[in-house]
Amino acid sequence: MINITFPDGSVREYESGVTGYEIAQSISPRLAAEVLAIAVKAKGDSSVGKGVTYDLLRPITFNASVNLLKWEDDDAKKVFWHSSSHLMAEALESLFPGVKFGIGPAIENGFYYDVDLNGNQITEADLPKIEKKMIELARSKERFDRIDVSKAEALKYFTEKGDQYKCELISELEDGTITYYRNGAFTDLCRGPHLMNTDVIKAVKLTAIAGAYWRGDEKRQQLTRIYGITFPKKSLLDEYVALMEEAKKRDHRKLGKEMELFTFSQRVGLGLPLWLPRGAVMRNILENFLRKKQSELGYLPVVTPHIGAKDLYVTSGHYAKYGKDSFQPIHTPQEGEEYMLKPMNCPHHCEIFRSSPHSYKDLPLRYAEFGTVYRYEQSGELHGLTRVRGFTQDDAHLFCRADQLQEEFEKVIDLILYVFKTLKMTDYMAQISLRDPNNKEKYIGSDENWAKAEQGIIDAAAKKGLKTVVEYGEAAFYGPKLDFMVKDAIGRRWQLGTIQVDYNLPERFQLEYTDADGSKKRPVMIHRAPFGSIERFTAVVLEHTAGHLPLWLAPDQVKVLPVSEKYADYAEKVCGLMKNSDIRASVDSRNETLGKRIREVAMLRVPMLVIVGEKEVADGTVSVRQEGVDKGTMTLDGFKEHFNAVLAEELS
């Protein structure tokens, strides 16, 4: 008999070899119908985390803690979607004989499979046919069987099948560790885990076709990547499709064009955004918003160049990380002289710290810079403003003493929460990434410092009442960190706002301060960026608000529209008075119908419309529309009061 411990701490006895499915059945048939996989952690296993995800039919032969995973669990979704990629592969094999397979993982929303169609072409028009086949196969309730196989046997099978991709993968595996999974007529090299059978897959949507190089290598075969998503209920697919429709409307690339914020030019280069005047205004507002708050919090502005000598990044370790796969060094007429586009601002800031001696009383020092950095991303990875090759971080580096770490951390959390609040991002959680306690040698910095920093972060997060998850083993090798995940208006999660402790760079740059007893000490460094980058943040704000920016952030706050050209002079006068009160206003008195001009302003998503005609001129008033809602007629003073009240409310 073995002991199985449940998440609530209760323990039950089972025969050795019991399966997850039998355990679920022993609790309730309803649970057994809903459960998709089981997380298993052997008793005495001191590794961190939730354990290993097992197939429901895999025997458990040792005392263990378990967690029965349902659709709501991310790990169950992974199993569900990975199994769906096998189902799709089976459908493809029956529709396109001779097809060969690369890899087919689960991803954040669904799955894909990279396939070599053996000379066949498929287009979007073929997807419904594949979906239909998948549903047909799913309904036949095929079991996913896990089969141990020797390396020789596996190589023989896939060689005979003519699948050189699987053969290449197998050749890299160790004998004795190789498993197949088989569903129906389809056999795949796979370590699992998988669903018990296919019939829980009730709804299928294949979402896209793209090209993908085998193993991401541009010099190797181009495969076809087919993306899809599946659900255990048809209604969940309907919800997902509706969400995707809504997401399409909010796509920041579309909004950026309509609102005339930014553009890209092939001639300038891929992934290098060009900010149009309205976008640049919005960007300045974001920067100034943070600048003002940072100045209140004792940050000091610094400015550093866009390039740095290669040695700087060799010292910092960034060359090793970004060197080969990134932008290559810039050469000068001077033989052997090499510069790099900066991938990070930190090394420059370390040199600023080093430029003068510091006493313990000078700390913390907080250097802030809107620093533009350049990182080479593969062209296929580029996406609007969220994945670019040049971007501006709202960066700052805090140099402090170990005893100041927690307080500084708390202040940074406050700043990030202030940013979220002002942008009405009210649904967020924080992930605390700590060391893997069983693998301490992987990390730089003393045990004592790590313990202090980790506890400091945990305490700071608790003190601020953050909803947190703790992930062991997710810290960087140079220090623990805290990341914020924000849910946007339609429920999508974005990672924004990072705070990171660093013991590495102070060491590499030999940074020091003089302590009270006269001894030299290393400061601790905190990297932090509440926005992450201006580019990415702009994208998130646009998608979150669907382009309806808060008044304080809108590049054009007010558009004044005369009913006809006759009232253009009055419109100009009204606009001038608004500008005198620091309102970002402009007039559109073009010889177009009022309806057409209103539609164009709607495209630009200007929050406030002021319309003036005969009556307004006679009364010295304006007619106001705010976000499409008629606010009636106001005197100019009345309008300013209304305007300021809206601003005050937003920034309170």
Catalytic residues: 346, 375, 393, 395, 397, 481, 527
Provide, rounded to whole angstroms, the least separation between the CB of residue 422 and Zn ion: 24
Following CA atoms 383, 236, 483, 322 in sequence, which dihedral angle do they give, to the nearest 10 degrees? Answer: -30
Provide, rounded to whole angstroms, the least separation between the CB of residue 619 and Zn ion: 57
Here's the x/- map for Zn ion, 547-586, by CB under 5 A: it reads as ----------------------------------------
Q: Is 373 in the site for Zn ion (CB under 5 A)?
A: no
Here's the x/- map for Zn ion, 484-523, by CB under 5 A: it reads as ----------------------------------------
Q: Is 342 in the site for Zn ion (CB under 5 A)?
A: no
Q: Is 606 in the site for Zn ion (CB under 5 A)?
A: no
Q: Which is nearer to Zn ion, 435 or 527 (CB)?
A: 527
SS (H, E, C) 9-61: CCEEEECCCEEHHHHHHHHCHHHHHHCCEEEEEECCCCCCCCCEEECCCCEEC
- Region of 372 (left: φ > 0; alpha: ψ -120 to 50; beta: rest) is beta
Binding segment for Zn ion (CB under 5 A), chosen from 168-176, 205-213, 341-349, 591-599, is 341-349
Q: Which is nearer to Zn ion, 158 or 639 (CB)?
A: 158
Provide, rounded to whole angstroms, the least separation between the CB of residue 536 and Zn ion: 16
* CA pair distance 134, 237, nearest whole angstrom: 15
Task: With CB under 5 A as the rule, give the number of residues binding Zn ion.
Answer: 3
Token readout for 600 is 């164009």
Q: Which is nearer to Zn ion, 187 or 224 (CB)?
A: 187
Q: Which is nearer to Zn ion, 190 or 541 (CB)?
A: 190
Q: Which is nearer to Zn ion, 87 or 606 (CB)?
A: 87
SS (H, E, C) 220-273: CCEEEEEEEEEECCHHHHHHHHHHHHHHHHHCHHHHHHHCCCEECCCCCCCCCC
* CA pair distance 497, 495, nearest whole angstrom: 7
Taking a C-beta distance cutoff of 8 angstroms, is the pair 345, 373 a contact?
yes
Provide, rounded to whole angstroms, the least separation between the CB of residue 523 and Zn ion: 14
Angle at 402 between CA 399 and CA 408, to 5 degrees: 60
Binding segment for Zn ion (CB under 5 A), chosen from 39-47, 344-352, 571-579, 642-650, is 344-352
Q: Which of residues 163-202 bind Zn ion (CB under 5 A)?
A: 190
In the beta sheet, which residues pair with residue 472?
434
Taking a C-beta distance cutoff of 8 angstroms, is the pair 340, 311 a contact?
no
Q: Which residue stretches of 96-196 are H helix?
A: 127-139, 151-161, 164-171
Provide, rounded to whole angstroms, the least separation between the CB of residue 60 and Zn ion: 21
Provide, rounded to whole angstroms, the least separation between the CB of residue 229 and Zn ion: 16
Provide, rounded to whole angstroms, the least separation between the CB of residue 600 and Zn ion: 42
Here's the x/- map for Zn ion, 76-95, by CB under 5 A: it reads as --------------------
Provide, rounded to whole angstroms, the least separation between the CB of residue 405 and Zn ion: 16
Length of the chain: 652
Q: Which is nearer to Zn ion, 92 or 558 (CB)?
A: 92
Binding segment for Zn ion (CB under 5 A), chosen from 60-68, 266-274, 445-453, 527-535, is 527-535
Q: CA dist 287 to 169, 293, 394, 419, 573, Å?
A: 48, 10, 8, 12, 31
Q: CA dist 34 to 25, 31, 109, 237, 642, Å?
A: 10, 5, 20, 17, 54
Q: Is 346 in the site for Zn ion (CB under 5 A)?
A: yes
Q: Which is nearer to Zn ion, 393 or 621 (CB)?
A: 393
Residue at shortest CB range from Zn ion: 190
* CA pair distance 618, 605, nearest whole angstrom: 29
Binding segment for Zn ion (CB under 5 A), chosen from 64-72, 343-351, 605-613, 635-643, is 343-351
Q: Which is nearer to Zn ion, 133 or 527 (CB)?
A: 527
Contacts for 324 with CB less than 8 Å, ≥ 6 apart: none
Q: Is 527 in the site for Zn ion (CB under 5 A)?
A: yes
Closest CA to 501 of 483, 480, 471: 480
Contacts for 345 with CB less than 8 Å, ≥ 6 apart: 304, 369, 371, 373, 393, 395, 397
Binding site for Zn ion (CB under 5 A): 190, 346, 527
